[in-house]
Chain A
């Protein structure tokens, strides 16, 4: 339903709109074009609409109202696209008794038509991205489709609107700082009104930079193109042609498609990322080599299916992904694989390097050197805990699998193995293996934890050696 109306008041010389008049005559100029620039990180949409208005010489009162919509009244602006040098906005009045309405008094030097542009911010229009991946039966390539969905809960119907979507995490304060050329420290000191004004300027600037409106298509035989352009720190998707999205509706369009996107499968154990389980991952890259890379991927839900080879699909996973820049990796967690068994067995534990502290003296003696009689009046002050583990991986899937394990060892630790491990960070050990189809792998390692006074550091040292049995 249309609720936004600019009305030209006629037959009066209403320089002061607050004058009490009981009889009015008005014309309602229709909306010619409308453009929506929708941000997904804020509930913020910049609307730019144009209308043709007839003016007479002198002062022309123009009423703009937006009942039951979510327009920010302080953001409404009027400017003239034609004959701008002969038209001026004298003043803008917000009446105290008529909310969601304002008056402009326009001084015209002409009798005739002019195109005006009205811009304003509204909330209630949002968009989101989502993705559908369908892997081939062999799980080597996938179709990767990206979609955008626009939701209109603004209270206003926007017909034949050009729709533009701003991709990226928008920090408006940053933009304010950029525009105002002031330091971030000073941004917080700005008054609310000034910040709002700068916010509007920021969004308008962005809107002005990107292209002209694309002509509507009479009949679209192919899915609409979504033009993607980078702009500063952002990406703007411009949906080809125009869209009609009534209040309450949402609409989903395909933004890109990669038909044969190669990917790899890796099994990973990372407690912090995936919990205490071995998970199966699809790994691909958002780049041209992978038939993607035309756009960063905004935050959104990825739904993954696998073609079962008989026209049917298997549902594999649904996962929220964070913004993925062009060239970055896409990692999709499919969860545990029942065909791969991942077990950690603690085989043995023992202690050595035990140091005793003699009572009443700051003297330490080692227990197991066999030569010194340890004073019975002493207590254990330092020791090394040895733990021997078997990381067993059984692969019952029909293909060989790559497995990568990351384990965290707090404290002063020596990780002893013949697994060629790497340190992911100072306390995280990473080791990898390949397990053939139908085979199992026994990965032995020993963890030596320096305890008590033996602990001198808080890190892990890798030692390439056979674990103690």
Chain B
């Protein structure tokens, strides 16, 4: 249903005829130029710009071009009227056209352009406007290979038309990726495949960080160990052409029998180029990490000024039959809060010699957070039938506290 209309009032231009009743009759003879082309520009994060082209017949002199809409949320202040060429093929026949003014009638969703033409003819005009309730969102389908080394990432754009206006065959552009050419019906939701990235390398991570993920079993000091697929949005990984927009990711895995198993879903955050999108898969059941504070000693420096020496012990068991890398992360402010109160000041810390976790990750470690990567061998059952337990220690000295 067309709720937008463009009318051209022909010679005579009987407009604004004011009867004495106070309501203005607008008596006119009109032509109805149809839409020749529609483009839906979705490159702005929050705003949809619709552009429609029409060929408008014009008489010599001043023409009234009436644009009106009903039950649709056009922002009238954003409407731009541009003459982009002659209506026909011959440039030499093109009239010279000037937009003189725009009038806005009372209590109507309409406006009237006064357009002067140097001679009879037609013009190709483009009318652009911001339209509400024609919105886009993104979602993804990620299918991991059976070995979880790569995945196929399909990116979809979902266009929802609640604008109460239908658009015939329209050019649709998200600001990146291909341009679509599709009709958009009223109340229609259209999902379009923007990109399909194949063989995208993934890293499956296991992370423990009590400040961020808490304990799985606090009395037993067992940490929660969430699993993530990490996709790096860069060219080396077959991505990196554009930021990945925010959207829901449904995650599947090839089950090795020609079908896929649904692993879950997560919100993929907006991911700039070279950044990582982390997709939460759930809590690992086969990686057990027990965390205890083995040492907490206070050393007076002077008066009420102290250094704190803390050793955190991790007892790690990998019950999986393949090796994995465990990311051990600690928030130093969280650690300080465990052994004393939060002073509000930054934590001045350094690693002690008894740390067994290796060197921290330089990229991920900041003033407040330290991250280690720990290799866990595959479970090799011991004599008593238990998985091998690996013990690591984090030795931290927190300085100048009072």
Which A residues form the contact surface with B (CB < 8 A)? 1, 130, 132, 134, 149, 157, 219-224, 244, 246-254, 301, 303, 305, 308, 311-316, 318, 338-339, 341, 345-351, 354, 356, 367, 374-380, 383, 385, 387-388, 394, 396
Complex Cα spacing A394 to B233, Å: 14
Stretch from B191-199, B252-260, B342-350 at the A interface? B342-350
Q: Contact partner of A249 among B106, B272, B304, B347, CB < 8 A?
A: B106
Q: Are A313 and B303 in contact (CB under 8 A)?
A: no
Q: From residue B269, how far is it (CB to closest CB) to chain A in Å?
A: 13
Q: From residue B254, how far is it (CB to closest CB) to chain A in Å?
A: 32
Complex Cα spacing A375 to B273, Å: 56
Q: Are A220 and B39 in contact (CB under 8 A)?
A: no
> Does chain A have a CB within 8 A of B220?
no
Contact partners of B27 in chain A: CB under 8 A = none
> Does chain A have a CB within 8 A of B402?
yes
> Does chain A have a CB within 8 A of B128?
yes
Contact partners of A313 in chain B: CB under 8 A = 41, 49, 51, 80, 128
Q: Are B98 and A221 in contact (CB under 8 A)?
A: yes
> Does chain A have a CB within 8 A of B326?
no
Q: Are A219 and B61 in contact (CB under 8 A)?
A: yes
- Tell me the chain B residues, 68-85 only, with Cβ under 8 Å from chain A: 77-78, 80, 84
Q: Are A224 and B100 in contact (CB under 8 A)?
A: yes
With contacts A251-B103, A385-B345, A394-B273 known, what are 9 further pairs, Cβ within 8 A?
A248-B107, A249-B103, A251-B102, A308-B41, A341-B272, A350-B348, A351-B399, A354-B400, A367-B302
Q: From residue A352, how far is it (CB to closest CB) to chain B in Å?
A: 8
> Does chain A have a CB within 8 A of B101?
yes
Closest 3 CB pairs of A and B: A248-B106, A378-B303, A374-B302
Q: Are A346 and B367 in contact (CB under 8 A)?
A: yes
Q: Contact partner of B22 among A1, A220, A347, CB < 8 A?
A: A1
Q: Are B301 and A367 in contact (CB under 8 A)?
A: yes
Given known contacts A341-B275, A346-B368, is B41 in contact with A314 (CB within 8 Å)? yes
Q: From residue A157, how far is it (CB to closest CB) to chain B in Å?
A: 7
Q: From residue B275, how far is it (CB to closest CB) to chain A in Å?
A: 7
Q: From residue A1, how far is it (CB to closest CB) to chain B in Å?
A: 4
Q: Are B49 and A314 in contact (CB under 8 A)?
A: yes
Complex Cα spacing A329 to B20, Å: 49
Q: From residue A393, how far is it (CB to closest CB) to chain B in Å?
A: 12
Using CB atoms, name the residue of chain A closest to B44. Answer: A315
Q: Contact partner of B303 among A220, A375, A394, CB < 8 A?
A: A375
> Does chain A have a CB within 8 A of B134?
no
Complex Cα spacing A223 to B78, Å: 20
Complex Cα spacing A315 to B132, Å: 13
- Tell me the chain B residues, 232-265 only, with Cβ under 8 Å from chain A: 243
Q: Are A220 and B116 in contact (CB under 8 A)?
A: yes
> Does chain A have a CB within 8 A of B99?
yes
Complex Cα spacing A380 to B303, Å: 8
Q: Contact partner of B101 among A247, A252, A338, A375, CB < 8 A?
A: A252
Contact partners of A388 in chain B: CB under 8 A = 367
Q: Are B51 and A221 in contact (CB under 8 A)?
A: no
Which B residues form the contact surface with A (CB < 8 A)? 16, 18, 20-22, 24, 39, 41, 43-45, 47, 49, 51, 53, 61-62, 77-78, 80, 84, 98-107, 116, 118, 126, 128, 130, 175, 243, 270, 272-275, 300-305, 345-348, 366-368, 399-400, 402
Complex Cα spacing A376 to B306, Å: 11
Q: From residue A257, how far is it (CB to closest CB) to chain B in Å?
A: 11
Complex Cα spacing A252 to B61, Å: 19
Contact partners of B24 in chain A: CB under 8 A = 246, 248-249
Given known contacts A313-B49, A315-B47, A379-B402, is B16 in contact with A244 (CB within 8 Å)? yes
Complex Cα spacing A76 to B236, Å: 79
Q: Are A380 and B44 in contact (CB under 8 A)?
A: no
Can you name 21 A-B pairs with beta carbons within 8 Å? Answer: A219-B62, A223-B99, A248-B24, A248-B106, A249-B106, A251-B101, A252-B101, A252-B104, A253-B100, A253-B102, A311-B126, A315-B41, A338-B243, A338-B272, A350-B400, A354-B305, A356-B303, A367-B305, A375-B303, A379-B303, A379-B402
Given known contacts A221-B98, A246-B16, A367-B302, is B43 in contact with A314 (CB within 8 Å)? yes
Given known contacts A251-B104, A315-B47, A385-B346, is B304 in contact with A380 (CB within 8 Å)? yes
Q: Are B51 and A312 in contact (CB under 8 A)?
A: yes
Q: From residue B177, how far is it (CB to closest CB) to chain A in Å?
A: 14
Contact partners of B98 in chain A: CB under 8 A = 221-223
Contact partners of B16 in chain A: CB under 8 A = 244, 246, 249
Q: Contact partner of A224 among B41, B101, B130, CB < 8 A?
A: B101
Using CB atoms, name the residue of chain A closest to B367. Answer: A346
Contact partners of B368 in chain A: CB under 8 A = 346
Contact partners of A311 in chain B: CB under 8 A = 53, 84, 126
Q: Are B275 and A346 in contact (CB under 8 A)?
A: no
Contact partners of B47 in chain A: CB under 8 A = 315
Complex Cα spacing A223 to B98, Å: 6
Q: From residue A51, how far is it (CB to closest CB) to chain B in Å?
A: 20
Complex Cα spacing A130 to B75, Å: 14
Given known contacts A252-B104, A314-B44, A315-B130, is B80 in contact with A378 (CB within 8 Å)? no
Q: Contact partner of A157 among B18, B80, B100, B304, CB < 8 A?
A: B18
Contact partners of A378 in chain B: CB under 8 A = 302-304
Q: Are B116 and A349 in contact (CB under 8 A)?
A: no
Contact partners of A394 in chain B: CB under 8 A = 272-274
Complex Cα spacing A349 to B116, Å: 69
Given known contacts A312-B41, A312-B51, is B101 in contact with A351 (CB within 8 Å)? no
Given known contacts A157-B18, A222-B98, A313-B51, is B346 in contact with A387 (CB within 8 Å)? yes
